[in-house]
Structure formats: structure tokens, C-alpha cells
Amino acid sequence: MEDLDQTFIQAPEHRADSNSIPNQPEEIPVIDLSRLNDPEDIQNVISEIGDACETWGFFQVINHGVPCDARKRVEETVKIFFDLPMEEKIKVKRDEVNPAGYHDGEHTKNVRDWKEVFDIYFKDPMVMPSSTDPEDEGLRVVYNKWPQFPSDFREACQEYAGHAEKLAFRLLELISLSLGLPKERFHDYFKEQMSFFRINRYPPCPRPDLALGVGHHKDADVISLLAQDEVGGLQISRRSDGVWFPIRPVPNALVINIGNCMEVWTNDKYWSAEHRVVVNSTRERYSIPFFLLPSHNVEVKPLEELLSPENPPRYKGYKYGKFYVSRNRSDFKKLEIQNIQIDDFKVVT
């Protein structure tokens, strides 16, 4: 048995074998978006998406319009980058001022993840608050970091991101319709969107029983669109009982999940599910999540039109940019206490 650095070891209740059903036959829905070309089927697709957001907080889409070649190109070029010696990779390392770039020591809930990542903003430059202090209105402008080699890395990433963002807004419109809201209800929140996408590489791990690729977490965004290869490892916690079960890799599908902002906007109607990544001892795995984030100055709070005397707001509002920079702090180092979570904004009843 190989030793594993202490920083990677999950508490027993969070390990891969805890509370999970590996052969769970039940599955999150796989929705074929080409059905939107049939006017008679559009409403069915919208209600299937709504049901999935409510029951699971997760679904998969196929025929979604993001070309499979664009994803493969990112995977191939980034693999060349990840295989470079560490002294090359750290030339584009992310830091506490600018979260873009390469990183290999991310922490989720104060335990280190078994992965390497590369983060890229959709908008370059991107504007974010310069500090976590709520009184400080200062802003910071940050730029993507691009490696010199491989030379087509930047182009491959930008091409993929363009497609992913387009699909993210299409899905946002469908989600909006599923709530009985106008199609473009959310659009104003994205004028200075902080969206980014990430390339995750999970190397083979000597102790997959003790470490996780990503520890259990909810995504802090609006929605996430995840491309994954055929290896598998993503697990979600079921809304009804918290049991963990795997998301089956479907060729060329994208896994879509609801993030904290959508959960708050819908006052908990739509569910932001906890998820995690289990690693294995033989095969490396790649995934590419695109995280749709609102502008830094958006105050995220339950939408008025979804509230009623029977359904009072369950969250206090919060400024998105401040939440984002506070969350980012814990990615870099082990904090003594759990970092800010969405439940900190719950209204106590």
C-alpha cells in the first residue's frame, strides 16, 4: 500500500465508499435537445428540464450543439500542457490576486483534491471585487494566463468556450420558461458575467479509497455544463435521501447541474445538488466544466415573482462578486474553519 500525503485524506464519512450505491439503476434524465426543432415537442422538453432541476438538480443533454471536436481539441492540447515539467506549468500558476491559470493544490472543504486544473475566464479581462470586505467597493481587472506552449492552447480553449457559453444561455432560457417566467428573465444579470471554464485532470491515485478528485460540494454558479470523458467518477447526492450514486458517462453528452444562484433565485424549488469525484488507481480522467456566473454587482436573492405569503424568501440577498472572492480564498489553503457556504444566507425561521 502506498502512502498518501495526509492533506488528501478525507474524513471517513466523506470517502468514496460512504453511503453510496455503485450500481444504482436509477438515472438522471438524458434529454435530446434536437427535439427543440419540433414545435410540438418544445413544451415537453421544457417540462422535462424543469422536473429534472427540481428532482435531481442534474440532467444530461445530447445533440446540444457543442461540437465534439472542439472538446477533443481542448483535451488534446491541455494534455500536452499538463505533461510539461512543473517549472513550466508554474509560469502560468494562479494566485490569490488572479484565480486564472494552472493550479494543482485546490482544496474543497479544507481537504486537498486529487487533481490538476487550468482555469480560463470567459470574458478577458474580467472584473471582480478587489477584496472580501463588504464595505470596500474597489474592483480588480484580471486577465487570462496563457502558456507559450502548446501554441494552439488558447485558440482551442476560446473556440470551446464560445460554444459552451451559447448553450449555457439556451439552457438558461429553457429553465426560465420552465419556471413560467419570460425567456430572457435572467439576461440582465450577465452584463459583466464572471463565467469561467476549467479543465480538470484527475491522475491515477494510489489510494482512491481515501482521497477524492473533488470533495463533496455544490457549485456556486448559476448552472454548470460539464463535458466528461468515458472514464467516469462523478457522483451526485440524491435530493430525496442523500444517497450517492454515479453519473454514467454518455458519449458526447454534457452533464448540466443547477448551482447556488439558481437555487436561491427559485427559493429552493430548483436544487443545487452536492456532488463529488471519485478517482481510480489506473486511469487518468479529464473533465471540462463551464461555470455560468452572473456579474459581480448582481445581488442574488429569491425572485419576487416566485414568492407568495405561503412561499416567503428563504435567503437573504448577497452580492455575487463578494461571495465569489470569499469562496476563492479556501481554494488556496486549508482554512481553520469552513469557508462561506450558501447556507450562511438562509433565513432562520
The residues of the shown chain that bind ligand OGA, judged by CB under 6 A, are: 198, 200, 214, 219, 226, 228, 234, 275, 277, 287, 289
Q: Which is nearer to ligand OGA, 226 or 298 (CB)?
A: 226
Q: Which is nearer to Ni ion, 116 or 219 (CB)?
A: 219
Residue with the CB atom nearest Ni ion in the bound state: 219
Beta bridge partners of 227: 254, 288
Tell me the pairing of strands 111-112 and 285-292.
Answer: unpaired
CA dist., res. 101 & res. 117, Å (int): 8
Binding residues for Ni ion, total number by CB under 5 A = 1
| Cβ–Cβ under 8 Å, residues 101 and 118 | yes
Interaction partner, residue 234 (Ni ion, ligand OGA, none; CB < 5-8 Å by kind): ligand OGA
Binding mask 70-99 for Ni ion (x = CB under 5 A): ------------------------------
CA dist., res. 248 & res. 235, Å (int): 9
Q: Rg of the chain over CA atoms, in angstroms? A: 19
| Cβ–Cβ under 8 Å, residues 197 and 118 | no
CA dist., res. 82 & res. 61, Å (int): 28
Nearest-10 crossing angle of helices 68-82, 153-178: 130
Residue with the CB atom nearest ligand OGA in the bound state: 287
Is 165 among the residues that bind Ni ion (CB under 5 A)?
no
Q: Which is nearer to ligand OGA, 92 or 226 (CB)?
A: 226
CA dist., res. 115 & res. 339, Å (int): 20
Is 116 among the residues that bind Ni ion (CB under 5 A)?
no
CA dist., res. 233 & res. 248, Å (int): 8
Binding mask 170-209 for Ni ion (x = CB under 5 A): ----------------------------------------
To the nearest whole angstrom, how small is the minimum distance from the Cβ of residue 235 to Ni ion?
Answer: 11
CA dist., res. 98 & res. 141, Å (int): 9
Range in contact with Ni ion (rule: CB under 5 A) among 45-53, 191-199, 219-227, 320-328: 219-227
Q: Which is nearer to Ni ion, 173 or 219 (CB)?
A: 219
Residue among 219, 221, 263, 274 that touches Ni ion (CB under 5 A): 219
Contact residues for Ni ion, defined by CB under 5 A: 219
